[in-house]
Amino acid sequence: MSINDADHVVTVPAVHRRRLPAFLRSPGGVFGAGWLVLVIVLSFTAGFWRPYGINEQDLANRFALPGADHWLGTDEMGRDLLSRILTAGAQPLLTSALTVLVAFGLGIPMALLAAEHGPRFERWFSRLSEILLALPGMIILLAVIGAVGVRLNIVMTVLGVMISAAVYRVMLGVAKSVRQRLYVDAARVNGLGSLRVNVKYVVPGMATVMAVQAAQLFGIAILIQSGLAFMGFGPPSPQPSWGGMIGDASQQVYNAPWLMVPTGVVLALTVVAANALADAIAGQVAGERPVARRRRRKATRGGAEAREGETFAADTVPADQVPADTVPADRAPVLDVRDLTVAVDDGPATVTDVSFSLRAGRVLGLVGESGCGKTMTARALIGLLPDGVAVSGGSIGWQGRDLAALPEDGLRAIRGREIAMISQEPMVALDPMFSVAYQLTVPIRRFRGVGRGEARRIAAELLNQVGIVDAEGVLRSYPHQLSGGMAQRVAIALALTGRPKLLIADEPTTALDVTVQAEILSLLRALVRDTGLSVLIVSHDLGVVADICDDIAVMYAGQVVESGAAAAVLDDPRMPYTMALLAANPHVPEGQPVPERLACIPGTVPPPADWPAGCRFADRCRFAAPECSAPIPLFSAHESGSVRCVRVDEIDRTHLTWEAESLGAEEAADTGVSS
């Protein structure tokens, strides 16, 4: 299998043998799993091999020590301890498993619902869990025994209900963490419903923690059941039980101390084995994955020739293969955002009155510092806002529909099919548990209604379209086997599975080096040119924006402060904030002298709760004046552009630049504009 990037091609040998799970390669994991398997097998098959009946008495050998006839000795009635111990093991193992099943059957769905729906569900589930945790467990179990008798299935089911509160509290945090991962958002963008997202992505992401908790709770359930049997609330005599046998042995501790040892050791080892297995699984989570042995790599034959003068596959797609429905019919805006406001529930707005439009076949860049609302605006377009955050005003026009007013079902029909998203950090956006082939073919089959074989063929074509030469090799790979640039290409191919008309790219080149970044930008340009795709790019890198964008909207503190054609905004900025961003840009144009130091913008972006009523940039702006304290609308500037600044004419007339003002107030005074 070969994995290639535009700047290198390496061969990674395919591994066909299956390796043991990591937790089974540690001594604790081997002991825990081995002992539990041994006890389970011997207990459930005891009826076929045990040497004596469980009630068969040999009164001549009462209190016998281990020997050839009785490997573990006999009890006070001459009954064989080995036969009774292993026969008694089936019931605690089964009922303890029932307890774990009930606890997880209640706790996991509660955690998933609370993580998905936020405070609306979490408030009620948390109060319920607090009530269950506050109840005295042993007293409740004794009360149940008093009501229904020693019916262990019912008693252990009640115990599972009580333990479900602890499972919910632990798994809620895990579920929230998994739902924040980019590959879960990618699944939602691809149109998966809530149930399928939870089953395919969230629950597998929680699987290791679930295994750890299940192993621990299994041991706890065995101890609780044995404790009940020790107190006389176990199976009736003469039916054996571990707790009952320990209770009987405790009455003979002075006459026959050995009697307590076999049953006690088996019980203790079973509980220790469950906890050792849990520790081994937990250690697998905390530690790094084992690194595969490095093998000698050989360059793919012809790789150098293929790279020379390389053109992306998207550049060479025949015109007759371009989907007809992606070619724009006119130049009217395909996306028209008007006065968009996004706010936290019972909290401040994070985006206010944002307006911009995007035409078919063009690229719009949202620019600004971190915390200016760029990503929040982009995610609001397809309803992927974090829990507790929602669109509270404005409209999102998309082909005659207002996306801001659509319910979740309506948005799900649009995600992936009409609007797709590329998240930053491609290695996180791809699910590490599934191969590239699986992650591409599943949405292809859902969006295009094709079979498995046809979906794989389309997946290979998409990989070729995004510049991957060895498509079949990459399809067999897992995300951790890909380089950063390769993973980003796969993420772009994943976004194209539904043939969208709009692609939202949130910092698509942040995690990539400069060379691969240029290749990804070239790929996006080729896709726009050849398919008529519209792209909305979120970035803080003005070099990226200048390279690919046709239009720019500069955002600051949740507002658009300047917008227009990219050339006009970058060559002739009118807003002081835009000037400051350009002055702080480390990219120096060819032929221009390198400054001794870059200009910087003092202060930081204010949080939403501290936004002033007037210009939100005034506290950091060297051109601020008293009139900046009043609310400021957008003024016309550039061609089809606008700027949010009351001093735009003065600043333009005096040809002030941010660099000039950064030299000091005294030199700025010579320009004729007060600071």
pLDDT in tens, 164-178: 999 999 999 899 888
Residue 50 DSSP code: -
Q: Is 395 helix (H, G, I), strand (E, B) or coil?
A: strand
pLDDT at residue 339, as a whole number:
92
Parallel, antiparallel or unpaired: strands 559-565 and 389-398: unpaired
Count the neighbouring beta carbons within 10 Å of the beta carbon of residue 573. 26
pLDDT at residue 92, as a whole number:
93
* Chain length of the chain: 675
pLDDT in tens, 578-588: 888 887 776 65
Count the neighbouring beta carbons within 10 Å of the beta carbon of residue 285. 12
pLDDT at residue 168, as a whole number:
95
Residues of the chain with pLDDT under 50: 1-17, 287-330, 653-675
Q: CA dist 457 to 4, 454, 499, 506, Å?
A: 19, 5, 15, 28
Q: CA dist 622 to 19, 64, 224, 599, 625, Å?
A: 63, 96, 71, 12, 9
Residue 154 DSSP code: H
Quote the percentage of the chain above a pLDDT of 70. Answer: 83
Closest listed residue to residue 230, CA positions, set 63, 93, 222, 149: 222
User: Going from the N-terminus, what domains does the chain have, and what CATH number goes with each?
Assistant: 23-61+70-286 (1.10.3720.10), 318-554 (3.40.50.300), 557-587+611-669 (no CATH)
pLDDT at residue 318, as a whole number:
39
pLDDT at residue 13, as a whole number:
42
Q: For the CA atoms of the chain, what is the radius of gyration?
A: 33
Q: What token pair was written down for 494?
A: 């994943």
* Dihedral of alpha carbons 466, 472, 477, 483, sign: negative
Based on the number of CB atoms within 10 Å of its own CB, is 597 exposed (0-12), middle (13-18) or buried (19 or more)? exposed
Q: What token pair was written down for 489?
A: 């290409």
d(CA 674, CA 35): 82
d(CA 391, CA 400): 19
What residues are paired with 402 via a beta bridge? Answer: 397
Give 501's contacts (C-beta < 8 A, 6+ positions apart). Answer: 325, 326, 334, 360, 418, 419, 532, 533, 534
- Phi/psi of residue 80, each to 5°? -70, 125
pLDDT at residue 332, as a whole number:
72
